[in-house]
Amino acid sequence: MTVDMMNSPLSESTDDIDNRMCDKEVLQGALHGIRVLDLSRVLAGPSCTQILADLGADVIKVERPNIGDETRHWAPPTFSDDTSAYYATINRNKKSLTVDITTPAGQTIIKQLIAESDIVVENFKVGGLKKYGLDYDSLKQDHPRLIYASLTGFGQTGPDAKRPGYDYIVQGLSGLMSITGPSDGEPHKVGVAVVDLFAGLQLTIGIQAALLARQKTGLGQQVDVALLDSALAMLANVGMNHLASDEIPPRLGNQHPSIVPYQVFEAEGEAHFILACGNDHQFAKLCEVLEVDWHRDERFMTNPARVVHREQLCDALNTRFAQQPRAYWLEVLDRAGVPCGAIHNVAEALAMPQVEARQMIVDFKAFGSPVRALGSPIKLSASPITYRTPPPRLSEHTDSTLTDLGYDSEMIAKLKADGIV
C-alpha cells in the first residue's frame, strides 16, 4: 500500500480523512507562510529544503537553464516519465525556476526573490556567491530578517574552508570509514551518503532555531553547517572513547565496541540476524533460551567481562546458532524479550507491514506522476506532513514565478531568448 498525497492517521475513517484534506489549516502545514529560496543542488542542501517543504514551507528551487540539478541526469534508474530516482528522492513539494545567476539579469531575479524570502539555502564553495553579490555579507544589510543557510564541505572558517566537500571523501577524512567494515578488511563507506543526509538534518535544525530566534530579536542570521563537522559529530560514543582513552578505535565489523553480544550472527543455512543484548538481564534471558549457564560464568557475568572475552563467547554463540534456522531463533528470542532482528534487503524492508502502517511509501498518481517516494518520518498530530506536488519538471514554474515578480510575457520571452531563464 502507498499513501496518496496526504499523511493521515490510520485510525481515521475515510470521511475523517476527507474532512481533514478540506481543512486548510491542516493542509498548510507547520511552516506555512515561510518562503525558502533554494540555491542548493545534489543531496545535502536539497534534503534540507525538502524537509522544510514537507512541513509546509513554499520552496523555490533555482536550477541552471537547460541543465538543472545534476541529479536529474543521475540515471538509471528512472520512473516511466524519465524522472531520475535520485532527483526524486529530495525534490518533492518544490517549484523549479531556471536562472543563470552568472548574469546581471539573473542576479536581479534572485535578489528580487530574496527580498520576498525568509530563508536562503545554498551549498556553493565558500566565497562562490560573493562575486554575484549573493553572499550573506552582501545581503544582510538590506535584508536584516533573512536567514541565510550555508552548507559546505568544511565550513565558513578554518584552513580548509575553501575546499570542495564530498560525502565519500568526508567519510574518509572524519574517521567514519576507519570504524566501518570488517576488522580484517579495508575500510568501508556507509551504503548511502549518510554524511550529506546528516548534514542536511543539522542545517534544517539550525534554520528552525534561527526562525525561533528571529521571533524574539526580529533579526535573521547565517547558519553555517559543514560536512566534516557533521561527520565528526556522528562519531558519537566512538569519538568519545578516543577522547577518554587516547586509544584509536578499531574497526569491528558488525560488532559493538562496548557491548557484547551485540552483533550479527549466522543461523543454519547461512541466514544472518542481529542479536543486541544491551544489558546483563537480556544476556541472562539469552542464556535461558540457549539452555546454558554462561551468565553465571565469571568470564561472561557482566558486560565488561564479556567485552574482554568477546571472542570466546561469540565463537560459542556461533556454534549454537548454526544448529537452527533464522526464523526459529527470531521467534524464540523475541518471545523471551531478547532484542533481535532479521537483516532485510531493501525490497523486504519496504514490504514490512509496519512500513505500510507508518505510511512510509507515498505516490503522486493524483498528479499524473508515476513517482513513488519514501515518506517523511516526521509525524505531527495537528499539522501533519503533506505531499502536495511531485518533483517538478525542469523550469516548470519559471513563467509563474516571474509573473508573480511583475514580469510580463514579453519580458519573460526575452529572458528565455537571452538564455537567462
pLDDT, tens digit, 9 for 90 and up, residues 281-292: 999 999 999 999
112 has a pLDDT exceeding 50: yes
* Torsion over CA: 238, 244, 249, 254 (sign): negative
Q: What is the mean pLDDT of residues 127-150?
A: 97
Q: pLDDT digit string (tens) for 37-48? A: 999 999 999 999
Instruction: Tell me what percent of the residues of the chain surpass a pLDDT of 90.
Output: 90
Q: What is the mean pLDDT of residues 356-370?
A: 95
11 has a pLDDT exceeding 50: no
Cβ–Cβ under 8 Å, residues 3 and 361: yes
**Calpha distance 232→237 (Å, rounded):** 11
Residues 6+ apart with CB under 8 A from 86: 71, 74, 75
6 has a pLDDT exceeding 60: no
Residue with cell 499524473: 368
Cβ–Cβ under 8 Å, residues 7 and 375: yes
Task: Tell whether domain 31-235+391-417 is in CATH 3.40.50.10540.
Answer: yes
Q: pLDDT digit string (tens) for 43-100? A: 999 999 999 999 999 999 999 999 999 999 999 999 999 999 999 999 999 999 999 9
Q: pLDDT digit string (tens) for 242-266? A: 999 999 999 988 989 899 999 999 9
Question: What is the location of CATH 3.40.50.10540 in the chain?
Answer: 31-235+391-417
Q: What is the mean pLDDT of residues 117-129?
A: 97
**Calpha distance 204→211 (Å, rounded):** 11
pLDDT at 352: 95
**What distance separates the 2 farthest-apart alpha carbons in the chain?**
85
Q: Catalytic pick from 38, 54, 167, 196?
A: 196
By C-alpha distance, which of 57, 63, 66, 8 is closest to 29?
57
Q: pLDDT digit string (tens) for 149-168? A: 999 999 999 999 999 999 99
- Residue 24: pLDDT band (50, 70, 90) is very low
Residue with cell 514551507: 57
pLDDT at 3: 55
Instruction: Tell me what percent of the residues of the chain surpass a pLDDT of 70.
Output: 94
14 has a pLDDT exceeding 50: no
- Topology of the domain comprising 262-343: formyl-coa transferase, domain 3 (3.30.1540)
Q: pLDDT digit string (tens) for 204-244? A: 999 999 999 999 999 999 999 999 999 999 999 999 999 99
348 has a pLDDT exceeding 70: yes
Query: Where is pLDDT greater, at 13 or 314?
Result: 314
pLDDT at 270: 85
Mean pLDDT of the chain: 93
- Residue 28: pLDDT band (50, 70, 90) is confident
By C-alpha distance, which of 274, 284, 222, 229 is closest to 253?
274
Q: What is the mean pLDDT of residues 367-385?
A: 96
Residues 6+ apart with CB under 8 A from 181: 187, 188, 251, 253
Q: What is the mean pLDDT of residues 199-207?
A: 98
3-state secondary structure of 119: strand
Instruction: Specify burial of residue 102 (Cβ count, 10 A radius: 0-12, 13-18, 19+).
Output: exposed
- Residue 277: pLDDT band (50, 70, 90) is very high
0.85 cut: is pTM over it?
yes
387 has a pLDDT exceeding 70: yes
Question: What is the location of CATH 3.30.1540.10 in the chain?
Answer: 262-343
Alpha helices (runs of H) in 174-279, residue ranges in sequence order: 194-217, 227-234, 236-245
Instruction: Specify burial of residue 227 (Cβ count, 10 A radius: 0-12, 13-18, 19+).
Output: buried
26 has a pLDDT exceeding 90: no
3-state secondary structure of 9: coil
12 has a pLDDT exceeding 70: no
> Could you confirm whether 196 is annotated as catalytic?
yes
DSSP states of 329-393 as a string? HHHHHHHTT--EEE---HHHHHT-HHHHHTT-EEE-GGGT---EEE--S---SSS--B--SPSPP
25 has a pLDDT exceeding 50: no
**Helices 236-245, 227-234: inter-axial angle, 10-degree rounding:** 80
